[in-house]
Amino acid sequence: MGKTLLDKVWEEHTVRTLPDGRTQLLIGTHLIHEVTSPQAFGMVRDLGLKVLYPKRTFATVDHIVPTDQRAEPFSDPLADAMVKELRKNCAETGVTFFDLSSGNQGIVHIVGPEQGITQPGTTIACGDSHTSTHGAFGAIAFGIGTSQVRDVLATQTMAIGKPKVRRINVDGKLSPGVYSKDVILHIIRHLGVNGGIGYAYEYGGSTFDSFTQEERMTVCNMSIEGGARVGYVNPDETTFEYLRGRPYSPKGAEWEAAVTRWKAVSSDKDAEYDDIVHFKAEEILPTVTWGITPAQAIFIDEKIPDPKDLPLKDRDTAAEAIEHMKLPAGTPAVGIKIDVAFLGSCTNGRLSDLQEVAKHIRGRKVSDHVKAIVVPGSQVVSTIAEKMGLAEIFREAGFEWRGAGCSMCLGMNPDKLVGDQLCASSSNRNFKGRQGSPTGRTMLMSPLMVAAAALTGEVSDARKVFGII
């Protein structure tokens, strides 16, 4: 019987079985940021331990960094203290820090891949649930809590049970104007926000084969929104091409050896899965969320459902969502008025996301009543986008062009919704209060759908707005 990529990576990184039956798993690459690491460094010190392999931990700042006034000290003293704390911890322990002045700072899940730190066949952990993003390279990547950040700093390992594997096949060609974001929203809509608990999601099929590396990252990123802590795609030529020549990618003879290893790590043809599900790419349309969980999603031509038409188990949450969103059942997705448009985050803040939108908005204007911001996921993305003239296109269309960070994905920096503003957002969570205002409302969608909403002032079918069909 063949093995999955998860089986192979797990086996290679197993140190031993712990008394409680879990695996002591070696974490090859550890990524940290300012929010979930300070307590962990403190715990390591309090226990009289030290950072065991400082070269295997990489740090950056993203969550609390302001995206406009970036000079230190920040206006928020708490945020300022957190950046300084991380800087101090890295300096003291020898951890590599992609600081604000490095030109390489950004959202941790964008920085890892673009630096070539994220590699196939590795284990990766980060004190952030969207660490599943790195699975797009055929890595087994976990979000962890602060105590586990401590464990990884001090021992380069963590205690964890081996998940089951669900293979998710998507076959066929996506229609024009439908993106990888729609694919993952569709998957979550059908498998539920808790359908992935206990599973790693292995994504494959012809749709994934033809996806770019960045499209794969968008899907893997949101695995956790479907309850799966790990999501991955088997590495292939697309992956290797993406990694070639990046700062931390293997070089010279080491490159060839690495590619040979990476090829061998893919799931075997006869691998055994705990579950297999299928989706057809042609059936997926531009998708938006209407509620307070990422599974509360509909196609752009649908209406907000009536809770009483939903399965019993979904009704209470649907009713709660309708109350919070102030959008009655039966409201069509098209035409919902928006106040804010946010283009960015670790889901859709990459260069290809910005390119796709810039291509379509040239010469158009953001609606008068909409505040629209574009937040590149990293300084590297930002620098390239500026050189390519994308920043100018966005500015001319009336978007604010910001510095790299998590921004309005969550309410930890100055970019926040106010009151019950409704935001068309390319991020990954529509939880109550997620975007910084307890009564704020979020609708998740693809970057081009965010742009369509920004221009028309209401949720719109991007394919019509931009003449794609």
Partner 1 sequence: MALEKITQVTGRGVFIPGDDIDTDRIIPARFMKCVTFDGLGEFAFADAKAAESAAGRLHPLDDARFQGASILISGSNFGCGSSREHAPQALYRYGFRAIIAESFAEIFFGNSTTLGIPCVKMSKEDIADLAALIEKTPSIQVTVDLTESKVSTDDIDFSAEIIIPGHAREPLMNGRWDSIADLVDGLDDVKARVASISYLANS
Residues in 71-100 at the binding interface with partner 1, rule: CB under 8 A: 76, 78-79, 81-82, 85
Asked whether the beta carbons of 463 and 177 are under 8 A apart, the reply is: yes
- CA–CA dist 356, 362 (Å, integer): 11
* Binding track, positions 428-467, relative to ligand SF4; x by CB under 6 A: x---------------------------------------
Does position 409 bind ligand SF4 by CB under 6 A? yes
- Build a one-symbol-per-residue string for 364-403: x at contacts with ligand SF4 by CB under 6 A, - elsewhere: ----------------------------------------
Which of residues 219, 281, 410, 455 is near ligand SF4 by CB under 6 A?
410
In the list ligand SF4, partner 1, none, the entry touching 49 (Cβ below 5 to 8 angstroms by class) is partner 1
From the list 91, 197, 264, 276, which residue makes contact with partner 1 (rule: CB under 8 A)?
A: 197
Residue from 52, 310, 334, 388 binding partner 1 (CB under 8 A): 52
Identify residue 114 by its one-letter amino acid code: E
Binding mask 17-56 for ligand SF4 (x = CB under 6 A): ----------------------------------------
Q: Which of 143, 136, 187, 115 is nearest to 33 (CA)?
A: 143
Region binding partner 1 by CB under 8 A among candidate stretches 44-52, 175-183, 333-341, 353-361: 44-52
Q: Cβ neighbours of residue 201 under 8 Å, at least 6 residues apart?
A: 165, 166, 168, 223, 226, 228, 230, 231, 232
Which of 333, 370, 354 shows the shortest CA–CA distance to 455? 370
Question: DSSP secondary structure string, 29-63?
Answer: EEEE-TTTSHHHHHHHHHTT---S-GGGEEEE--S
Among 3, 93, 99, 145, binds partner 1 (CB under 8 A): 145
Q: Which of 8, 13, 63, 371 binds ligand SF4 (CB under 6 A)?
A: 63
Q: Which is nearer to partner 1, 172 or 198 (CB)?
A: 198
Enter the tokens of residue 328: 């009655």
Stretch 101-140: interaction string toward ligand SF4, x if CB under 6 A: ------x-x------------------x-x----------
380 touches 106 (CB < 8 A): yes
Q: Is 298 in the site for partner 1 (CB under 8 A)?
A: no
Q: Which does 62 bind (CB under 5 to 8 A by kind): partner 1, ligand SF4, none?
A: ligand SF4
| Token digits of residue 245 | 């020549």
C-alpha gyration radius of the chain: 21
Asked if 154 interacts with partner 1 (CB under 8 A), we say yes
Residue type, 176: P
Q: Could you tell me if 43 and 147 are in contact, meaning their C-beta atoms sit under 8 angstroms apart?
A: yes
- Residues in 11-30 that interact with partner 1 by CB under 8 A: 12-16, 18-22, 24, 26, 28
How many helices and strands in the chain, by DSSP H and E?
17, 19
Residue 116 touches which member of partner 1, ligand SF4, none, C-beta under 5-8 Å by kind:
none
The Cα-based distances of 347 to 166, 225, 415 in angstroms read: 22, 12, 17
Give the nearer residue to ligand SF4 in terms of CB position, either 227 or 398.
Answer: 227
Rule CB under 8 A: choose which of 124, 158, 366, 444 binds partner 1.
158
State which residue, 63 or 432, has the beta carbon closest to ligand SF4: 63
User: Is 343 one of the binding residues for ligand SF4 (CB under 6 A)?
Assistant: no
Region label for 374, one of left (φ > 0), alpha (ψ between -120 and 50) or beta (otherwise): beta
Q: For residue 267, state whether it binds partner 1 (rule: CB under 8 A).
A: no
Which residues touch 263 (CB under 8 Å, ≥6 apart)? 235
Nearest-CA neighbor of 455 among 359, 333, 372? 372
Instruction: Using CB under 6 A, list all residues that contact ligand SF4.
Output: 62-63, 107, 109, 128, 130, 345-346, 406, 409-410, 427-428
